[in-house]
Every structure is written in structure tokens, then in C-alpha cells.
């Protein structure tokens, strides 16, 4: 029984292990020491309290946007647009963070988070609706909406929404009442990680214990059977995309309120794209997504440390990531063909 | 082909020791109802399905066909119902694709074109070879497919229901081509369930029924009546005797009424023309008809999966025409779809989830905004026991069940809400005798309580056993409604194939 419950974790663990082996071979072939590199990587990501917090802070946006991709995936939809939803969510949160003043934190923070969620949800509901009503493939539409979101944010933050006193393309700083609690040790760890964990629990409850989650899974695994049984497939797809976009928007809002304290142009190093790998490696389920976001967060946090201490370039971590994405993607496609 | 046998996992025998001989220069028809094993047999011949036993000989020498390429090499060509042409390429390029004539590695289109035109002239085919495939009509594409098979050296051409998507005039022209091909010395093997085509255009005919060969005839020596009885097996002993509803439990009130319902099918073509049907409470109204006569569209329009162009659907006196699937189901209309793997079940869901599907907003089933897992499981366990489903429990995946047990799950779910009317599409298709009887027992238990049933089936024996009355569909119309006792086999057959008694 226990073995059967663990069975789905076997392949992802193997692909992660394989990825480390491949990266180790590359390090060795370039004349470095794989073991030294690995120990530096581990030291940097979980060898100290600052390292550990840095891992958690890097994992936060990956966890949230990974959940976003996972929810859509469970409905049979591939949301490639988490990046765009995250960016617009961040922008909305930054705006709400400085536009409202004189509010207590317990009112202001929820307003900002809600702004991010709503904007992300609306942005993702567009491809959902186009898919449901017009049959336009969500992959194409979300990719195009990413460009729109990135350029729109770039335009706004260099113009109408730009902080007049700053040189950088960024909005004004958010009010202190809109800032999430953050550690002062330079790890960028904030209360946002707790919110992300709560979101993971929420997604787990949604998928397992609610009628909407049941419909989402039914549409993802058997849209025809769901339709015949009376499920409104189109509406379910739109709901799934909106929830997905809301989570990605929340990721952006938390980055603004917890880390940058404002919207900074091009602040995202591609969280929305990495989140696709996080979701696939996590098998689309909240526990798996949480674990894989910690892995990716740890890789990202440890890579800098590794580079500084062993002269092994940080891009080696990218190789690990790449191999994991490759095998997780292959597994996903294989599952779909069946 | 000698003694071809193909068993599918789950024990369904698609072909049971079927032998078939096609003589050179003849047109050979293969007829049979849906599920008779025609497509499997053709798949074996084309190398896309591997038989469990049996052998194939081409021109007297035994061959092994592991994949379609082997079949092509041995001169067997297949023209499927759906085109395999690449839309953006010209018809000519599509024909040449994969077997391009070349000189020193350079594509020689002119050489290819000459060969293609020569072949099409022989068969009497005219196609605009320069046009891109997406600009061609279905009929033209089909002719191009035939030339493609000939170009690849086919001596035996398999046509899978070639006229299924053609207008009558186009079908006539297609058969002119068939005659042309035959005249050139090649053989044509075509699958159909239209008897008219068999009688008019074939030299020999093989009838399949239930996976086995029901008979071989020289076309000139047979007639429609004989073929019908071979196809439908009127001589078959009654396998499972199911009584029709006793008169006493039939009631006068209507469970389901369909009034002048017109429905469009795929591609917007009218599929059902002003159909009128009424099912009384406690009654089973069977619907017979050759496959593709509009049964599917009618059933889907009744349950709300397809919108009607005009007409109405009334459930126990309540007009539900404008309502959604879910709302009709809540009002007491249940549906057992035709394809239990795709439409009936979600194979990766467990049984409790499959039984919950559609009732997941019902508190009584453990549904609601938040699901009550314990209640869902208890409800599922009860339904599985009542439905006689053999399984490893409510959390076993649906894919782990045999076909018969899967169907029992679909039926159990449909009946779980105690519906007032049931629409069932071939509920016993592919099931063995025991499972079929169990399905009908479950349905009958509800009809005794007043549920009306609209039962679609291609199996006339079955319809005559379980229906109180039988309606016959022909070409999208209700050609007639007969009482069970008046419904003689030849009369049904005539209504089905000609649309009049």
C-alpha cells in the first residue's frame, strides 16, 4: 500500500538523480571535481540558515506559479502564460501598494494580494475562454499573451506608472503597510513562503475535495465523458485557467510585496517558464510541486555559492534543470499519447 | 486469408477463424453490422493489426504482414474513410509522397505525373492533380487516394466504407472507378453495410456476423433478403431470453416525448428529420436502423448534448428542449452512451469517482461544493454491489475492469438517480451473454417502477427480445413504429434498408 502510494515518485526521483549524474560528468570532463561542486551546491542551498532561507525564498514564486501550471494541467490545459500572468499580477500589486495610503497592514496587504490574483486570473481567463468558445489552442494564445504582458508592463513602468523620482524603470515603493514581513539577513526570505504553502494546501483541497476540482480533473482525464455526464466543459476550462492565472498573479504580488517592494522592470528571471518544469516534475500534484519547487529553488540558491567557492560556473545548475525538464517533459508527452 | 483469429484483451473475439478469398479482377464486398469484425479483418490484411492465428497468401505464396509497409510491398492498398492527404501539398505530390520518382536524387515530377495520369486514365479517374489537397472535394480526394494506392503498385485495393461520406451521385461515380480498376485486372475489396452497393457493384460477397463468417455468396446468386438474414442472424437461437415489460406495469402517461425533432449532424448536414417518438412510462421503445441513420444524433439531441434545429423534447410532460445536459439529468433523464471508454467512463478515475461523475453536486451521493469522501465511497460500494460489478473495490481504477463490468458501472450510474426516462445507445455492444443479461435486468428493474426507455441498437434480435415496440430509422427519419409482436424480421429489414414496409 505504502509502496503503491510512493510509486509515482519513483520516476521523478530517478530523473533528478540522473540529472545530477549528467551535470557531474560535465564538471568532471571540464577538469573540475564533481563532489566538490555538489558539496558547495548543498552548502549554498541548505548548509546555513541564510542558505536555507534563500532556497525557500527562491522557491516561493516557483511554488506558486508551479501550482498555477499544475491546476491548468489537471484540466488538460497547458498554461505557458504563467510568466505574463505573474508579471501583470506583480504590477497590479505594486500599484495597489502605493496608490492606497493610510490603511492598516491587515487591510492593505490583502488588497494588494487580491489585486495581483484578480489581474492574473482575468489575464489567464482570456485564453481559457478562447479555448472553450472558439477552440483556439491555449498554448499559442498564452505564449502570445506573454509577449503582450511583458511589453505592456515595460511600457507602463517606463511611462505612466514610473516612479518620477527614480532613474530605474520601476514603480514607486509600496507603502510600508503593504510590505510582507521579511528576514533581514539578505536572503530575501519573506512571509510569502508561508502564503505559498497555504496556497499549495488550498490547491490540494480544491482538487481532491471540491466539486469544482472534481470537474477540473474529470475534464482533464476525459473531457468527452465529463460532457456526456453533464459537466459544462467550457466553463470548467475557464475556471481552471482563472484559478491558474490567479496563482501566478499571486506569485508576482508576493515578489513585489515581500522582496522588491516595488515593481521593477524585468524583475522576473523567467519564474513563469521555470514553473512549467516545476509542475511537470511534480506530476501536477501539490505535494510534488512543492518538493520540486524546493529542488529548483535550492539549485538556484546554491549555484551562486558553488561558483564563488569552486570556480564551477553556475550554469552547471542550469544543466541539472535542463535534464530534469527534458525527462519530465518526455514523461508528460508519453502519458498524453496513451 | 485463412482462419484469421483476433482476440482483444478482455476476451472480445473480433475475428473468429475467418477465411476470405479474393479472386483477381473481381470486386469483393464485405458486409456486416457494426462490430461484426469487418474493420479488424481489413486491418489484419493491411498489416496494421496482427492476428493471433491464421495466414495470408498473396498470389499463392504465404506472406507475413507486420506493418502497412509490408502490405504495400505485397500489392495491398488501403483507402480509409478519412483522407490521409497532406492538405498543403498538391494532389500529385501527395500521391508521389514516399515513393518519389527521382533521377540522380532529384525529384522527377514529370515522370511521376505521366505515371499517375496513365493509371488514372486506366481506372477512369479525373482529378485536378495540380490543385492542393485541401481544395479538393471529399469525392475527389477519395479518387486521388485510389490512384495513390495503384501508384504504389496495389493489386488488391481495400476500400473502407467508401460511400459513407458521399452523395448518391458521387457514390455512383466512385463505383464506376471501382469497375475501371477491376477491368484493369486488379481486385477491389470493399466494406459496406449498404446492401444496394453490394448487389449492384460486387462479384462476390462475404457476410460477417459477430466476428465470424456468416456466409460467402456469389452476388449474382443471392438477394437482399438472404443477405439481411445472414447479417442479422434471424436463424440465431435466442441467446438470452428477456421478457418484455408485462402489460400491467405499462402506463398510459408519457415518460419521454420527441416531437418533430430536426437535428444537424457533423458538418452541419441534417441528420434527423422531424422525428416523432413517444415512450410511455414503463415501456421500452427500441430504435432499429442501419448504423449511421441518425441514431446517434437523435439520442444526443434528446439528452441535450446536441442542440435541435427545431422540434421539442418533453420529459414527463415538461418541455426540456432548451435545458442543459445536467439540468435534464436532474429532471430525471439518464443516458447510457455508445462508447463506454470515451463517453461513459474516465478510465483513469477510480470507480467511486466514475460513479460520482454527473452526480457530484448531489448531496445524496456525497457531492456538493465540498465532496464528502466517506459518503461517496459508501454510495459507490452500494452501487457496485447492487449492480453486480466484479471489482477490487470502489477505489480500483475503471481501466482495471472487464468490458462487461465497465458497462455495469455505466448503467449503475445512469440508474442511480432513479431516472424517469433512459436513453441507451447499444448498451450491450461487445458484451457476452451474461453481462448483457445483467445490463437488461438492471434496466428492467427500473422500467417495472415506471421508467421509460429509448433503446438504440443495431442488433434486431436483441431489440425484438427486450422492446415493447420498435421504431425504425432510415436516413434520419422514423420510417415506422411496429409492435413487438408484429415486427417480423423481413419487415424490419425492409424498413431499415428501404425506408418503407
**Domain locations in chain A as residue ranges:** 56-315
Rg for chain A, CA atoms, rounded: 20
Nearest to B345 among A211, A225, A230 (CB): A225
The parent domain of residue B41 ranges over 2-232
Together in a domain, B329 and B180: no
Q: Does A74 touch chain B (CB under 8 A)?
A: no
In whole angstroms, how far apart are CA A27 and each of A14, A298, A308, A310?
A: 20, 19, 15, 11
Residue B414 has pLDDT above 80, yes or no: yes
A131 half-sphere exposure, CB direction, 13 A CA radius: 27
Together in a domain, B39 and B125: yes
Q: Does B374 touch chain A (CB under 8 A)?
A: no
Band (B3; pLDDT cuts 50, 70, 90): low
- Final residue before a domain boundary, out of B205, B232, B259: B232
Cell of A297: 529553488
Together in a domain, B283 and B324: yes
- Selected residue with higher pLDDT from B23 and B378: B378
Q: Find the mean pLDDT for residues A8-12.
A: 80
Band (A98; pLDDT cuts 50, 70, 90): very high
User: Three-state DSSP class for A164?
Assistant: coil
Cβ neighbours, 10 Å, residue B49? 18
pLDDT of residue B10: 44
Helix residue ranges per DSSP H, A130-266: 138-157, 192-209, 211-228, 233-254
Q: Find the mean pLDDT for residues B276-291.
A: 90
C-beta separation of A33 from A245 below 8 A: no
Q: Please check whether residue B256 lies inside any domain of the structure.
A: yes
Residue B1 has pLDDT above 60, yes or no: no
User: Three-state DSSP class for B39?
Assistant: helix
How many contacts does A have with B, using Cβ atoms within 8 A? 69
| Chain A residue numbers touching B343 (CB-CB < 8 A) | 224-225, 228
pLDDT cut 90: percent of chain B above it: 27
Three-state SS string across B120-170, please? HHHHCCCCCCCCEHHHCCHHHHHHHHHHHHHHCCCCEEEEECCCCCCCHHH
pLDDT cut 70: percent of chain B above it: 91
Q: How many domains does chain B have?
A: 2
User: B369 vs A218: CB contact, 8 Å cut-off?
Assistant: no
Name, of A47-61, A79-93, B123-137, B480-494, the range with top average pLDDT.
A79-93
Q: Which CATH architecture has domain A56-315?
A: Orthogonal Bundle (1.10)
pLDDT of residue A110: 96
Together in a domain, B335 and B465: yes
C-beta separation of A268 from A83 below 8 A: yes
Nearest by Cα to B462 from B499, B498, B419, B424 = B424
Q: Which of B325, B338, B357 to mutate to test the interface with A (most CBs of A within 10 A)?
A: B357
pLDDT cut 70: percent of chain A above it: 97
pLDDT tens for each residue of A188-225 = 889 999 999 999 999 999 999 999 999 999 999 999 99
> In which residue are the cell numbers 482533464 written?
A220
Q: Please check whether residue B244 lies inside any domain of the structure.
A: no
C-beta separation of B338 from A223 below 8 A: no
Predicted complex ipTM: 0.88
Nearest to B358 among A209, A217, A230 (CB): A230
Could you give the CA distance from residue B322 to residue A79 in angstroms, rounded to a whole number?
34
Residue A265 has pLDDT above 60, yes or no: yes
In whole angstroms, how far apart are CA B383 and each of B358, B379, B380, B413, B442?
A: 15, 6, 5, 8, 11
Could you give the CA distance from residue B369 to residue B350 in angstroms, rounded to a whole number?
20
Could you give the CA distance from residue B365 to residue B381 in angstroms, rounded to a whole number?
11
- Cα–chain center distance at B175: 23
User: A214 vs B368: CB contact, 8 Å cut-off?
Assistant: no
Together in a domain, B224 and B344: no
Q: Please check whether residue B76 lies inside any domain of the structure.
A: yes
Together in a domain, B287 and B434: yes
Q: Which of A206, A209, A219, A222 to mutate to test the interface with B (most CBs of B within 10 A)?
A: A222
Band (B146; pLDDT cuts 50, 70, 90): confident
Q: Please check whether residue B323 lies inside any domain of the structure.
A: yes
Residue B118 has pLDDT above 80, yes or no: yes
Cell of A52: 536555507
pLDDT of residue B5: 62
Nearest by Cα to A128 from A120, A118, A119, A136 = A136
C-beta separation of A217 from A203 below 8 A: no
pLDDT tens for each residue of B253-264 = 899 999 999 999
Together in a domain, B40 and B120: yes
**Burial bucket for residue B369 (CB in 10 Å: 0-12, 13-18, 19+):** exposed
The torsion angle over the Cα atoms of residues B47, B32, B463 and B327, rounded to 10 degrees, is: 50
Buried b (16+ CB within 10 A) or exposed e, A97-111: bbbbeebeeeebbeb
Together in a domain, B300 and B224: no
Mean confidence (pLDDT) of chain B: 84
> In which residue are the cell numbers 422500467 written?
B447
CA-based nearest distance B437→chain A, Å:
24
pLDDT of residue A4: 63
Question: DSSP assignment of B58-114, as one string?
Answer: ETTEEE--SSHHHHHHTTEEEE-SS----TTSBHHHHHHTTS--EETTEE-HHHHHH
C-beta separation of A156 from A91 below 8 A: yes
Nearest to B349 among A209, A212, A221 (CB): A221
| Chain A residue numbers touching B349 (CB-CB < 8 A) | 217-218, 221-222
Could you give the CA distance from residue A292 to residue A276 in angstroms, rounded to a whole number?
11
C-beta separation of B293 from B164 below 8 A: no
Could you give the CA distance from residue A286 to residue B217 in angstroms, rounded to a whole number?
63
| Chain A residue numbers touching B329 (CB-CB < 8 A) | 229-230
State the pairing for strand pair B284-288/B254-264: unpaired
| Chain A residue numbers touching B361 (CB-CB < 8 A) | 211
What lies within 8 Å, CB to CB, of B65 at 6+ separation is B44, B45, B46, B47, B56, B71, B74, B76
C-beta separation of B240 from B439 below 8 A: no
- Final residue before a domain boundary, out of B180, B197, B232: B232
Rg for chain B, CA atoms, rounded: 25
C-beta separation of A144 from A126 below 8 A: no
CA-based nearest distance B326→chain A, Å:
4
Residue B396 has pLDDT above 80, yes or no: yes
> In which residue are the cell numbers 511600457 written?
A155
> In which residue are the cell numbers 477491376 written?
B182
pLDDT tens for each residue of B208-251 = 887 788 888 888 888 877 887 787 765 443 334 445 555 545 56
- Final residue before a domain boundary, out of B198, B232, B266: B232
DSSP 8-state assignment for residue A256: I
Together in a domain, B73 and B193: yes
pLDDT tens for each residue of B152-164 = 888 888 888 887 6
pLDDT of residue B8: 54
Together in a domain, B477 and B444: yes
Q: Find the mean pLDDT for residues A137-156.
A: 95
Through-space distance between the first and last CA atoms of chain A, rounded to whole angstroms? 25
Together in a domain, B214 and B263: no
Could you give the CA distance from residue B23 to residue B40 in angstroms, rounded to a whole number?
21
Three-state SS string across B263-294, please? EECHHHCEEEEEEEEEEECCCEEEEECCCCCC
Q: Please check whether residue B493 lies inside any domain of the structure.
A: yes
User: Three-state DSSP class for A314?
Assistant: coil
C-beta separation of A305 from A51 below 8 A: yes
Together in a domain, B22 and B128: yes
**What CATH number is associated with residue B62?**
3.40.50.300
Inter-axis angle of helices A286-310 and A271-281, nearest 10: 120
- Cα–chain center distance at B447: 27
Could you give the CA distance from residue B134 to residue B86 in angstroms, rounded to a whole number?
8
Could you give the CA distance from residue B150 to residue B450 in angstroms, rounded to a whole number?
59
CA-based nearest distance A4→chain B, Å:
13
Band (A79; pLDDT cuts 50, 70, 90): very high
Amino acid at each position: 500500500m505504502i509502496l503503491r502510494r510512493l510509486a509515482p515518485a519513483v520516476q521523478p526521483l530517478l530523473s533528478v538523480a540522473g540529472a545530477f549524474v549528467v551535470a557531474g560528468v560535465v564538471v568532471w570532463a571540464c577538469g573540475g571535481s564533481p563532489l566538490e561542486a555538489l558539496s558547495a551546491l548543498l552548502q549554498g542551498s541548505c548548509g546555513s540558515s541564510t542558505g536555507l532561507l534563500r532556497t525557500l525564498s527562491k522557491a516561493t514564486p516557483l511554488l506558486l506559479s508551479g501550482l498555477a501550471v499544475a491546476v491548468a494541467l489537471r484540466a488538460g490545459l497547458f498554461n505557458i502564460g504563467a510568466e505574463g500572468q505573474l508579471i501583470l499580477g506583480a504590477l497590479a500589486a505594486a500599484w495597489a501598494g502605493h496608490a492606497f495610503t493610510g490603511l492598516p497592514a491587515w487591510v492593505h496587504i490583502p488588497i494588494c494580494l487580491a489585486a495581483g490574483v484578480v489581474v492574473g486570473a482575468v489575464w489567464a481567463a482570456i485564453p481559457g475562454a478562447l479555448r472553450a468558445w472558439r477552440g483556439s489552442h491555449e498554448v499559442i494564445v498564452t505564449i502570445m499573451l506573454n509577449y503582450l504582458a511583458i511589453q505592456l508592463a515595460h511600457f507602463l513602468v517606463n511611462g505612466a506608472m514610473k516612479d518620477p523620482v527614480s532613474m530605474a524603470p520601476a514603480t514607486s515603493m509600496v507603502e510600508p503597510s503593504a510590505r510582507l514581513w521579511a528576514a533581514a539577513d539578505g536572503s530575501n526570505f519573506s512571509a510569502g513562503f508561508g502564503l505559498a504553502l497555504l496556497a499549495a494546501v488550498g490547491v490540494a483541497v480544491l482538487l481532491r475535495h471540491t466539486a469544482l476540482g472534481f470537474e477540473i480533473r474529470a475534464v482533464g482525464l476525459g473531457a468527452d465523458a465529463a460532457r456526456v455526464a453533464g459537466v459544462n466543459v467550457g466553463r470548467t476550462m475557464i475556471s481552471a485557467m482563472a484559478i491558474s492565472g490567479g496563482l501566478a498573479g499571486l506569485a508576482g504580488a508576493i515578489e513585489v510585496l515581500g522582496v522588491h517592494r516595488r515593481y521593477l522592470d524585468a524583475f522576473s528571471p523567467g519564474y513563469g517558464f521555470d514553473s512549467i518544469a516545476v509542475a511537470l516534475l511534480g506530476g501536477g500534484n501539490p505535494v510534488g510541486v512543492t518538493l520540486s519547487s524546493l529542488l529548483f529553488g535550492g539549485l538556484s540558491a546554491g549555484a551562486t555559492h558553488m561558483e564563488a567557492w569552486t570556480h564551477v560556473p553556475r550554469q552547471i545548475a542550469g544543466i541539472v534543470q535542463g535534464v530534469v525538464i527534458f525527462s519530465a517533459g518526455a514523461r508528460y508527452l508519453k502519458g498524453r499519447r496513451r | 486469408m485463412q482462419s484469421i483469429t483476433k482476440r482483444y484483451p478482455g476476451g472480445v473475439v473480433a475475428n473468429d477463424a475467418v477465411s476470405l478469398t479474393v479472386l483477381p479482377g473481381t470486386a469483393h464486398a464485405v458486409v456486416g453490422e457494426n462490430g461484426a469484425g469487418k474493420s479488424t479483418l481489413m486491418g489484419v490484411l493491411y498489416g496494421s493489426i496482427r492476428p493471433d492465428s491464421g495466414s495470408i497468401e498473396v498470389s499463392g505464396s504465404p506472406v507475413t504482414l507486420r506493418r502497412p509497409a509490408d502490405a504495400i510491398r505485397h500489392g495491398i492498398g488501403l483507402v480509409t474513410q478519412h483522407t490521409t492527404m497532406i492538405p498543403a501539398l498538391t494532389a500529385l505530390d501527395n500521391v508521389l509522397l514516399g515513393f518519389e520518382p527521382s533521377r540522380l536524387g532529384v525529384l522527377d515530377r514529370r515522370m511521376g505525373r505521366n505515371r499517375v495520369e496513365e493509371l488514372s486514365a486506366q481506372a477512369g479517374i479525373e482529378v485536378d492533380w495540380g490543385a492542393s489537397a485541401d481544395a479538393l472535394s471529399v469525392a475527389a480526394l477519395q479518387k486521388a487516394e485510389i490512384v495513390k494506392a495503384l501508384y504504389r503498385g496495389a493489386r488488391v485495393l481495400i476500400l473502407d466504407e467508401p460511400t459513407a461520406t458521399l452523395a448518391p451521385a458521387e457514390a455512383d461515380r466512385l463505383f464506376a472507378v471501382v469497375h475501371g480498376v477491376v477491368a484493369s485486372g486488379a481486385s477491389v475489396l470493399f466494406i459496406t453495410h449498404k446492401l444496394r452497393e453490394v448487389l449492384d457493384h460486387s462479384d462476390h460477397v462475404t457476410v460477417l456476423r459477430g466476428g465470424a463468417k456468416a456466409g460467402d455468396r456469389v452476388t449474382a446468386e443471392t438477394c437482399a433478403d438472404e443477405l439481411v438474414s445472414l447479417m442479422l442472424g434471424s436463424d440465431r437461437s435466442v441467446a438470452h431470453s428477456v421478457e418484455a415489460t408485462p402489460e400491467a406495469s405499462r402506463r398510459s402517461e408519457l415518460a419521454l416525448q420527441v416531437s418533430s425533432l430536426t437535428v444537424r449532424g457533423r458538418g452541419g448536414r441534417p441528420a434527423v428529420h422531424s422525428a416523432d417518438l413517444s415512450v410511455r412510462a414503463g415501456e421500452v421503445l427500441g430504435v432499429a436502423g442501419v448504423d449511421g441513420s441518425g441514431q446517434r444524433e437523435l439520442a444526443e439531441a434528446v439528452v441535450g448534448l446536441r442542440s435541435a434545429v427545431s422540434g421539442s423534447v418533453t420529459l414527463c410532460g415538461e418541455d426540456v428542449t432548451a435545458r442543459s445536459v445536467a439540468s435534464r439529468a436532474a429532471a430525471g433523464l439518464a443516458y447510457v452512451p455508445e462508447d463506454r471508454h470515451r463517453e461513459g467512463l474516465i478510465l483513469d478515475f477510480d470507480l467511486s469517482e466514475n460513479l460520482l461523475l454527473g452526480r457530484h453536486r448531489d448531496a445524496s451521493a456525497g457531492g456538493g461544493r465540498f465532496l464528502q469522501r466517506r459518503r461517496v465511497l459508501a454510495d459507490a460500494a452500494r452501487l457496485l454491489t447492487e449492480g453486480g460489478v466484479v471489482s477490487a473495490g470502489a477505489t480500483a481504477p475503471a481501466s482495471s475492469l472487464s468490458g462487461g463490468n465497465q458497462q455495469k458501472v455505466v448503467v449503475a450510474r445512469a440508474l442511480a438517480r432513479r431516472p424517469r426516462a433512459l436513453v441507451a445507445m447499444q448498451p450491450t455492444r461487445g458484451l457476452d451473454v451474461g453481462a448483457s443479461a445483467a445490463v437488461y435486468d438492471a434496466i428492467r428493474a427500473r422500467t417495472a417502477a415506471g421508467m421509460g426507455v429509448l433503446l438504440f441498437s443495431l442488433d434486431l434480435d436483441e431489440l425484438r427480445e427486450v422492446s415493447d415496440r420498435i421504431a425504425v430509422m432510415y436516413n434520419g427519419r422514423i420510417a415506422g413504429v411496429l409492435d413487438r409482436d408484429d415486427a417480423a424480421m423481413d419487415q424490419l429489414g425492409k424498413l431499415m434498408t428501404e425506408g418503407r414496409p
